[in-house]
Amino acid sequence: MDKNNAVIVLQDGTVLKGTGFGAKDTAEGEVVFNTSMTGYQEALTDPSYKYQILMMTYPLVGNYGINREDFESDGIKAEGFIVREVTQEPSHGKLTSDLNEFLKEQGIPGICGIDTRFLTRRIRIHGVMNGILKYPYEEKETEDLIERAKKLKNISELDLVDMVSTNKIKKHDVGGKKTIALIDCGVKQGIVHNILKRKVNLIQFPARTPKEKIMEHEPDGILISNGPGNPEKSDYVIKTVADLIHERIPAFGICLGVQIMALALGAKTYKLKFGHRGSNQPVKELKTGRVYITTQNHGFAVDPESVDDKLEISHINLNDQSVEGIRHKELPIIAVQYHPEAYPGPHDSCYLFDEFVKMMK
C-alpha cells in the first residue's frame, strides 16, 4: 500500500496523512473513538455509528478477519474507518474475508498508519467534531477539505433513526407463549438474538409505527432499541412510546431506548463531550452496589437533574457519573444506557433480558 495517499481532516484544522485501504471514496461525519480490543466487525455494522467515522484505539485491527456470524446489521453503517495498523494476513477458523476486502465490498474508505493515540487525545480534550476521510488524496485538496469539514451538519441536527430502521414489519416466531414488540431505531442483531433464544416471539416495527398499529398485535412487552444520533430528533418515536406507556405493558429500553423512554416520561437529554464507546465501561447498580463492565456506544445521555419523582436512576457510569439506567417507580418500565446483549462481550448484563421476560409474566 502506498503511504500518504489518504487523509483525515477535522473541522478544527487537524490534518493526519496515512495509508488508504478499503474503498477509494470520501467519508464525512462525526469522528469518534472506540476503546474495545476486539469487535471491530460488530462495531462497523452497528447502526448506531451512522454519520460517524469510527476510530479504534487498539493499535492492531483486523487480525481475525471477517466472518458471517458477527454482523449486527445487513452491512457497515459507519461512514469510514480509522486504525493504527491493519493486519495483512488475518487468521481465524471462521474468517471469510479480510478487513481490507470487507471495506472494499461495502464501499467504505479506511485510513491506517496514523497516530490514533494523538487523535484520541485530541477528541478527549476538545470533544467530538466533524471530519472528512478521503482516499485517495492529493496535497492541494487539504484546505478545501478543512473548509468542507467546517460546514458539515452537526449530528445533533439530524434525524438518523429513519435512515437505519427497518421499512417493514418483520415477525420472528419461535413458538413462544409471549410476544415482544420491538420498535426498531437501528437495532443490533445481538438484541434480537437474545430475545429469541429465550423462546419469546418478536415483532420488529419500523420506527415510525404508531401505537395503534403496534397494539393490533397485542404484544406482551415493548422493547425500544438502540440507534444513532440525537434522540430529540426522533419525536415520532417519543410520541409512540409516550402513548404506549399508558397501556401499562412491560417496557425495556436499550441505549437510545433509555433516552427515548426518558424523553417520553418528561425528562431531558444532552450531548456528551466525547461519548462512551467501547466494551470496558464500568457501571454501578445503585440498589445493590454491584459494578458491571459493559459495552457502550452512545454520544447522548439522560440529564439526571431532569429525572422527576416518578422515575429513579438505577445505574450510573463510574467514569463520569452519567446516567446508565432508569426505572419507573410504579409502572413495569426499565431502561439502560449500555448494551446488555454485549456483542462481542462482556456478558455481565445479559441477565436484564431475563428480568424483562419475567416482567411479562
pTM of the model: 0.96
pLDDT at 10: 98
Residue 1 has pLDDT above 80, yes or no: no
DSSP H stretches of helix in the chain:
40-44, 99-106, 116-126, 142-151, 161-164, 189-196, 211-215, 235-245, 256-264, 351-359
pLDDT at 118: 98
Residue 42 lies in a domain: yes
Tell whether 292 and 177 lie within a shared domain. Answer: yes
Alpha-carbon gap, residue 9 to 145, rounded angstroms? 7
Residue 163 has pLDDT above 90, yes or no: yes
Tell whether 133 and 191 lie within a shared domain. Answer: no
| 246 included as an active-site residue | no
Output the average pLDDT for the chain: 97
Tell whether 133 and 186 lie within a shared domain. Answer: no
- Residue 141: what are its φ and ψ, rounded to 5°? -85, -10
Tell whether 194 and 330 lie within a shared domain. Answer: yes
Tell whether 28 and 91 lie within a shared domain. Answer: yes
Residue 1 lies in a domain: no
Among 152, 180, 212, the domain boundary falls at 152
Structural domain harbouring 14: 6-152
SS3 147: helix
pLDDT at 2: 67
Among 152, 187, 208, the domain boundary falls at 152
Alpha-carbon gap, residue 2 to 249, rounded angstroms? 57
Tell whether 275 and 316 lie within a shared domain. Answer: yes
The domain that holds 244 is classified in CATH as 3.40.50.880
Reported as a single tens digit per residue, the pLDDT across 194-211 is 999 999 999 999 999 999
Reported as a single tens digit per residue, the pLDDT across 132-162 is 999 999 999 999 999 999 999 999 999 999 9
pLDDT at 149: 98
Identify the active-site residue in 276, 298, 315, 339.
Answer: 339
Instruction: Count the domains in the chain.
Output: 2
| 339 included as an active-site residue | yes
Tell whether 229 and 147 lie within a shared domain. Answer: no
CB 353 within 8 A of CB 336: no
Tell whether 194 and 101 lie within a shared domain. Answer: no
Tell whether 29 and 107 lie within a shared domain. Answer: yes
| 126 included as an active-site residue | no
% the chain with pLDDT above 90: 97
Residue 26 lies in a domain: yes
Identify the active-site residue in 28, 79, 324, 341.
Answer: 341
Identify the active-site residue in 30, 42, 255, 276.
Answer: 255
